[in-house]
Structure 1
Amino acid sequence: MSLLKKALHEKTFVCVMEFVPHSSSERFSGIEELMARSQLCGWPMTVAIADRVGSPFEMSPLEAFASFQRPPPALLHFSGKDRERHDLLAQLQQMDAAGLDQLLLLTGDRLPGHEPGQRPVRYLESVAALQMVRQARPDWLLGAGMHPFKYREEEGGAQYFKAAKKLAAGADFLSLQLGYDAGKHHEAIQWMSRQRSPKPLLACVMALTLGRARIFQRVAGIVVTPSMLALLEAEAAVSKAHAQARSLDRLALQIIGLRLMGYAGIHLSGIHDVKQLLTLEQTIDDWQSRIHCLEEWAPAWEACWRMPGLPAVTFHPPEANWRLGEASVTASPKEKLRYQLLSGAHSLLFNRTHWLSRAFARTVQQPLWSTPLGARLLHGLERGVKRPLVGCDTCGRCRLEDTLYICPETCPKGLANGPCGGTSLNRCEFGDRECIHSVKYRTAQAVHQTAVLTERLIPCIEEDSRHRSSWPSWFDSSR
């Protein structure tokens, strides 16, 4: 049993040290020295190897693992950006050969350089990837991401809907995206406690310096508010040493708070050598000698975000501050009418029991349509009908019934099971549109179909099924 699996099973707080692989002997020797210590403040420590965080041309997690002189038990990441089923299955075989059996499955950030209107970039989303790996490797330790730092109801609610799908798809634990809003950390752990089969939660943490905060303002999914940035600028103006000490205090306090909230561990980034680790360890120990419960922790956490002469820091964007449990949005009349019309048309043509549906089935299953010319004609007909209505890209396996008639192909990442983590106030990570999953959430609430978005696990589209008609296969008796 791996260290991480054992810690989660025994409910021992654990530190997962994230390693972003670069072709640098110093980086590798640094992480090996860190892992040789094997613990942080007495908590067991293991390593996670990130997958193509900055560039698709970075070393793969498997290449990085093989480059260690003394390979440690590792949690490998798998990012689904620009990946298909065969990529994932190939990695599973390579992991078998390396003796690895734990994987963190992520949909992935926007592929650098990908702009709307360019060639589609396929993303093997985490829900479908979890299903594949759970089926192929039933005993592996599998994790997935969770993104509670959302501040409008649609995007926040859709994130929790998707987290429920990840649990249903086989995730053994969820790891939160990086964030500094303790209220959202508490919200996520409370949500998990209410699930039918609660799973451990890890939280990503990193010391927030002024330089990192400025970078994070351009990173999709990470929230750095103007008041947070103002505090960091004021601390840096005092001195570099003062700013570093304050940043370290906040990191130590955040880790202590997460442990007191009931998190299973932390996913720690930004520590590159033993000296940094020892300094963090000492700071945690100093604070732990004074803080023993959440009631003692809360005022200390609040105080570390204050500075005389500055307004109070808020962790939510100025435009919104939604919290789980608040429900006020509804679909527009146009959105509701669109759903009713498309749902009605679907029930007539595709329910497989109505006389019109049976007649349509006989028509599209004629041998004519299985010939090369017939298949092209039927594909063109379906595309011509559905593209103006829903933005269809004829993926060969229509999922509209499972997505409230909002086509997943209109998402730049092609995501069907729910949103990625890159949205901001309902806006798509690409910035040119509202996230389609926010529209789905509003529609589901308005027509009382939220179960569709939490319970239906939608498999990935296979490469060889794309750009052909889905109509004949829809009526296949083996479907």
Structure 2
Amino acid sequence: MSKLKQALNERRFVCVLEVVPQQSPVRLIALEQIVQRGHLAGWPLLPAFADRVGLHSDLSPLEGAGALGDPASSLLHFSGKDRGRADLLLQMESMKARGLEQLLLLSGDRLPGHHPDQAPVRYLESVPALQIAREHCPDWLLGAALNPFKYREEEGGAQYLKGQKKLLAGADFFTLQLGFDTAKHIEAQTWMRAQVRMKPMLACVMRLSDKRAAVLQTVPGIVITESTRELLGREQQVSQAYASARSLERLALQIVGLQLMGYAGVHVCGVHTLDELLSLEQAIAEQRESMSSLTDWIERWHASWQMLGAPEVCFVPAIGAWEMGQSNVAATPRERLRYALLSTVHGQFFSRTGWLSRTLGWSMRRPFWKVGVAADALHAVERTVKRPLVGCDTCGSCRLQETLYVCPETCPKGLANGPCGGTQLNRCEFADRECVHSVKYRIAKSANQLPVLAQTLIPCIEAGNRHRSSWPEWFEPKDSTPGR
């Protein structure tokens, strides 16, 4: 059994060190020293190899693990951006051959150079990826991501609803997005404790300098407020040594606090050498020795973000303040009308029950609609009808009933099961639109359909099945359509 799986089963705090695999002999030597040490402040320490987060020249997670001799404790990431089922299965087969059985499944952030108005880039999102991985390797340790650092009801509510889907799909643990808002860390724990399938969670942490904060402000899903930047900048003005000492103290303090909150461990980013690790270990020891309770920790955490003459640091965006449990949004009249009309049309033509739907179904099941000129004509008709109404891209397996008639093809990533972690105050990671899953949340809430967003697992669309009519498949007997 791997270190991570054993620690999670035994409820022992664990540290995962994120590695961006690079073709750098110096980095490799430093990483080997860390991995050989195998612990941080008495806690198990294991490497996690990131996927597609850096330069195109970076190594894949498999190559990164291979450079270290494939340690069995390795946690490999799989990013679904511009990938499908076959890519996931190929990585899993290679992992099995090397004795690696731990996988963190992520939809992935924006593919560099991808613009929504150009050719679409589709993602194997985490929910179906979890189902695929669980089906093929039922005994593997599978993780998923959760981003609780959301400050609008729609994006926050949708994030937790998708988290429930990930639990249903087979996630063994969650790794949180990087964040510094203690209230949101506690909120995520509260949410997890309310779940039937309660699972351990790791919190992502990083030593935050002024330079890193400037970079992180551009990373989708990470919240760095201006007051945070102001404090870090003032510390840097005092001296580099002063700023470095303060950032190390806060990282150690945050790790200790997360353990007190009940987190199963931390996912540490930005530690690259054994010296950095040892400095962090010493700082953690100092914090643990002088800490008696979570209340004590919260006071010290807030004090660590104060400086004479600097404004008070607030981790909440200036125009956002939603917390789990608050409920004050509803669909607009236009959104409600659109949902009512489309659901009525669906009931008449695609319910498979009324005479009109049964007649259409009988027609659509004729074999000639599936090949040749007739198939092309039917595809053109469906696209002509549905594209102006819902933005349809004729994926070949319509999911509108399961997505409150908000077409998932209008999401730049093509996500159907819920939002990615990259939204900010309801805005899409691509910044050119409101997140379609925020719209879907409002409609579901107004239509009393929120359980659909938590319980309906929508399978992925295979690339070869796209750009054809979905109507013949829709009317096939249910047991002959996988995933329906």
Determine if the alignment matches structure 1 residue 129 to structure 2 residue 129.
Answer: yes
- Matched position secondary structure for 1:145: strand
- Matched position secondary structure for 2:52: coil
Residue deviations 1:168-224 (CA, integer Å, cap 9, x gap): 100000000000001000000111011002100000000010000000111111100
Residue deviations 1:374-404 (CA, integer Å, cap 9, x gap): 0000000000000000000000000000000
After TM superposition, the structure 1 = structure 2 runs for residues 10-159 of structure 1, keeping only pairs within 5 Å, are 10-69=10-69, 71=71, 73-159=73-159
Evaluate the alpha carbon distance shift between residue 159 and residue 31 of structure 1 in structure 2; reply closer, same or farther with a 3 A threshold. same
Equivalent position of 2:414 in the other structure: 414
Evaluate the alpha carbon distance shift between residue 302 and residue 407 of structure 1 in structure 2; reply closer, same or farther with a 3 A threshold. same
Equivalent position of 2:382 in the other structure: 382
- Matched position secondary structure for 1:255: helix
Equivalent position of 1:197 in the other structure: 197
- Matched position secondary structure for 1:48: strand
Root-mean-square deviation (Å) = 0.9
Distance 1:59 1:366 in 2: 50
Distance 1:137 1:71 in 2: 19
Distance 1:368 1:42 in 2: 67
For residue 382 of structure 1, what is the amino acid of its counterpart? Answer: E
Distance 1:196 1:76 in 2: 27
8 A contact 1:205–1:269 mirrored in 2: yes
For residue 59 of structure 1, what is the amino acid of its counterpart? Answer: L
- Matched position secondary structure for 1:174: strand
8 A contact 2:205–2:267 mirrored in 1: yes
8 A contact 2:4–2:46 mirrored in 1: yes
- Matched position secondary structure for 1:44: strand
- Matched position secondary structure for 1:439: helix
Distance 2:333 2:200 in 1: 41
Distance 1:196 1:100 in 2: 29
1:56 is displaced (CA, Å) by 4.3
Equivalent position of 2:160 in the other structure: 160
Residue deviations 1:139-182 (CA, integer Å, cap 9, x gap): 00000000000101100110000111001100000000000001
8 A contact 2:70–2:100 mirrored in 1: no
- Matched position secondary structure for 2:459: coil
8 A contact 1:47–1:72 mirrored in 2: no
Evaluate the alpha carbon distance shift between residue 122 and residue 381 of structure 1 in structure 2; reply closer, same or farther with a 3 A threshold. same
More displaced, 56-65 or 211-220?
56-65
- Matched position secondary structure for 2:76: strand
Distance 1:273 1:73 in 2: 19
Evaluate the alpha carbon distance shift between residue 423 and residue 70 of structure 1 in structure 2; reply closer, same or farther with a 3 A threshold. closer
- Matched position secondary structure for 1:47: strand
Residue deviations 1:86-124 (CA, integer Å, cap 9, x gap): 000111110111111110000001001111111111100
Percent of pairs identical after alignment? Answer: 58
Distance 1:461 1:90 in 2: 18
1:370 is displaced (CA, Å) by 2.5
1:38 is displaced (CA, Å) by 1.1
- Matched position secondary structure for 1:369: helix
Distance 1:69 1:139 in 2: 23
1:371 is displaced (CA, Å) by 3.1
For residue 18 of structure 1, what is the amino acid of its counterpart? Answer: E
1:37 is displaced (CA, Å) by 1.2
- Matched position secondary structure for 1:276: helix
More displaced, 231-240 or 368-377?
368-377
Distance 1:258 1:32 in 2: 27
Q: How many equivalent residue pairs?
A: 479
Equivalent position of 1:210 in the other structure: 210
1:57 is displaced (CA, Å) by 4.3
Distance 2:167 2:70 in 1: 33
Equivalent position of 2:302 in the other structure: 302
Distance 1:8 1:273 in 2: 26
Equivalent position of 1:318 in the other structure: 318
Evaluate the alpha carbon distance shift between residue 72 and residue 368 of structure 1 in structure 2; reply closer, same or farther with a 3 A threshold. closer
8 A contact 1:35–1:72 mirrored in 2: no
- Matched position secondary structure for 1:296: helix
Determine if the alignment matches structure 1 residue 185 to structure 2 residue 185.
Answer: yes
For residue 97 of structure 1, what is the amino acid of its counterpart? Answer: A
Residue deviations 1:360-383 (CA, integer Å, cap 9, x gap): 112222233133100000000000
For residue 6 of structure 1, what is the amino acid of its counterpart? Answer: Q
Distance 1:408 1:354 in 2: 27
1:311 is displaced (CA, Å) by 2.0
8 A contact 1:408–1:414 mirrored in 2: yes
1:70 is displaced (CA, Å) by 6.8
Unaligned runs of 5+ in 2: none
- Matched position secondary structure for 2:374: helix
- Matched position secondary structure for 2:47: strand
1:50 is displaced (CA, Å) by 0.6
- Matched position secondary structure for 2:5: helix
Equivalent position of 2:269 in the other structure: 269
8 A contact 2:352–2:475 mirrored in 1: yes
Distance 1:466 1:91 in 2: 24
Unaligned runs of 5+ in 1: none
- Matched position secondary structure for 2:195: coil
- TM-score, normalised to structure 2, is 0.98
- TM-score, normalised to structure 1, is 0.99
